[in-house]
Amino acid sequence: MGKLIVHQDKITSAEIMEAVIAVCPFNALENNDGKLDINAGCKLCKLCVKKGPTGVMEFVEDEVKPSVDKSKWNGIAVYVEHEEGVIHPVTFELIGKAKELAAKIHHPVYAVFIGSDIKGHVDELRHYGVDKVFCCDDPELKYFKIETYTSAFEAFINKVRPTAILVGATSVGRQLAPRIAARFKTGLTADCTILDMKENTDLVQIRPAFGGNIMAEIHTPNHRPQMCTVRYKIMNAPERSESLTGEVEEFTVSKDKLKNRVDVLKTTKKPKEQSIENAEILVVAGRGIKKKEDLAMIEELAELLGGQLACTRPMMESGWFDAKHQIGLSGRTVRPKLIITCGVSGAIQFVAGMNNSENIIAINSDPKATIFDVANYAIVGDIYEIVPQLIEKIKKGEAIVA
């Protein structure tokens, strides 16, 4: 952390005062009887330092003494998300990223598998090139209960001391990761979109911040382990190898640590439903849709292409869609083979949830729309003219539907 310092002697005119105040997007700078003050609205974004009049504002980093010997922490661990031993695909994506990060610092990659009757599923992880699978198999871990799983994960960290831990941003991961971070009094960055590794083993964690207006680069230089969660469909999973690599090591947790104040009396499985996360083709409705009835043409296009309908956050908030159809940081992350956006401006929150799609076709009447920055094909025009024409061509067989 750090603090902003105002050099009042540099404010030699009313024009300079006004120029500094105008730079702040949060209205955190104010003129108090000729003195420039910083109010509680300050987010420490440092724009006043970077873009304000030279020398008026200065950011000073707090001097923090390292509280950890980094040399004693080794390896990058991936938490294995699973349901009754069936491994969630986000795990393989995180293994791929962990291997990439570990190669930069010559560390091993570990998989942490916690559950009951899971030994028969361990070898599947070894097809993806991990150096070691740490398996905790205990009847008390049959159901995900936050207290018992936290204790098991804590036992692994105390035993292995990994420098970084990657967790899927699933409903389970979002419960477990904060508990672990609290136990070790370390940092946790949620919903990272980019990860990198410094030579000194500091994990570079990048995610959108301040409503998606900036990309924040976050470090945990003085604590270990470093922790982050990553959404499904953000990273690339490695190719599955036919051969098995790596070792398997079992670890146990004392029975008193597995005591829980919650008992699972019954489980009811939700019926399976189509998810936009697994769709190969998506057609997205944006704010360019004028009224709910007009969604019919977007839905027809999706049906003709054999795809699914999705939306942006404003469309969900208007009540036109369920939340499960929303793409973006506050919705779902998708990676289809083809995505067509209709009247979508391209806010960073939305783009972060779909910019890894194989082919992006954007239709928007504004030639300066930011969605065109990530699109493979840009169509500048009115969706009310273009979409009906596209539908007609598909029906006549003039457009190819793969």
Residue pLDDT, tens place only, 328-351? 988 999 999 999 999 999 998 899
Residue 81 in contact with residue 173, Cβ under 8 Å?
Answer: yes
pLDDT at 66 over 70: no
Percent of the chain with pLDDT over 90: 83
User: What is the rounded average pLDDT of the residues 138-142?
Assistant: 93
Distance, CA of 315 to CA of 310 (rounded, Å): 10
pLDDT for residue 251: 95
Q: How many CB atoms lie within 10 A of CB 70?
A: 14
Q: Which helix (H) or strand (E) holds 261?
A: none
70-257 and 276-396 agree in CATH topology: yes
Q: Break the chain into its structural domains and give their ranges.
A: 3-60, 70-257, 276-396
* pLDDT at residue number 211: 66
Query: In 239-380, at which residue ranges do the beta strands (DSSP E only) sit?
Result: 247-250, 281-285, 308-311, 338-342, 359-364, 377-380
- Residue 268 pLDDT grade (very low, low, confident, very high; cuts 50, 70, 90): confident
The helix/strand/coil state of 14 is helix
pLDDT at 402: 47
Name the pLDDT band for 275 (thresholds 50, 70, 90): confident
Q: How far from 344 is each of 157, 383, 389, CA to CA, in Å? A: 44, 10, 19
Query: What percent of the chain clears pLDDT 70, i.e. is strictly above it?
Result: 97
The answer to which of 46-55, 115-124, 210-219, 355-364 has the lowest mean pLDDT is: 210-219
* Mean pLDDT, residues 195-221: 89
330 is in an annotated binding site: yes
pLDDT at 401 over 70: no
Q: What is the C-alpha separation between 95 and 234, in angstroms, rounded?
A: 12
pLDDT band at 396 (very low <50, low <70, confident <90, very high): confident
Mean pLDDT of 98-119: 97
- Is the pLDDT at 316 greater than 50? The verdict is yes
pLDDT computed for residue 1 by the predictor: 67
| pLDDT surpassing 90 at residue 327 | yes
Enclosing H/E stretch for 136: strand 132-137
CA 193/CA 111 separation, integer angstroms: 21
Q: Is 148 annotated as a binding residue?
A: no
> Vertex 361, ends 358 and 366: CA angle to 5°?
140
H helical segments located in 226-368: 295-304, 313-317, 348-351
CB 91 within 8 A of CB 57: no
Q: What is the pLDDT of residue 215?
A: 82
DSSP state of 296: H
Question: Is 326 annotated as a binding-site member?
Answer: yes
CA–CA separation, 360 vs 375, rounded Å? 5
pLDDT exceeds cutoff 50 at 186: yes
Taking the CA atoms of residue 299, residue 305, residue 306 and residue 309 in that order, the dihedral angle to the nearest 10 degrees is: -30
For 175, phi and psi rounded to 5 degrees?
-90, -40
Entry pTM:
0.79
**pLDDT for 398:** 73
**Fold topology of 70-257:** Rossmann fold (3.40.50)
**Mean of the per-residue pLDDT values of the chain:** 93
Q: Residue 52 has which token pair? A: 């304000």
* Mean pLDDT value across residues 73-80: 98
Q: Could you please report the per-residue DSSP string of 159-198?
A: HH--SEEEEE-STTHHHHHHHHHHHTT--EEEEESEEEE-
Residue 8 assigned ligand-binding role: no
Is 218 assigned a ligand-binding role in the annotation?
Answer: no
**DSSP annotation string for 208-243:** EETTTTEEEEE--TTSSSEEEEE-TTSSPPPPPPSS
Question: Is 244 annotated as a binding-site member?
Answer: no
Which CATH code fits 276-396?
Answer: 3.40.50.1220
Res 90: pLDDT? 96
383 is in an annotated binding site: yes
Question: Is residue 140 exposed (0-12), middle (13-18) or buried (19+ Cβ within 10 Å)?
Answer: middle
Q: What is the dihedral of CA 361, 362, 365, 369, to 10 degrees?
A: -140
Average pLDDT over residues 153-182: 97
Residues 226, 186 contacting (CB under 8 angstroms): yes
Average pLDDT of span 269-281: 86
**Residue 327 labeled ligand binder:** yes
CATH 3.90.25.10 fits 3-60, yes or no: no
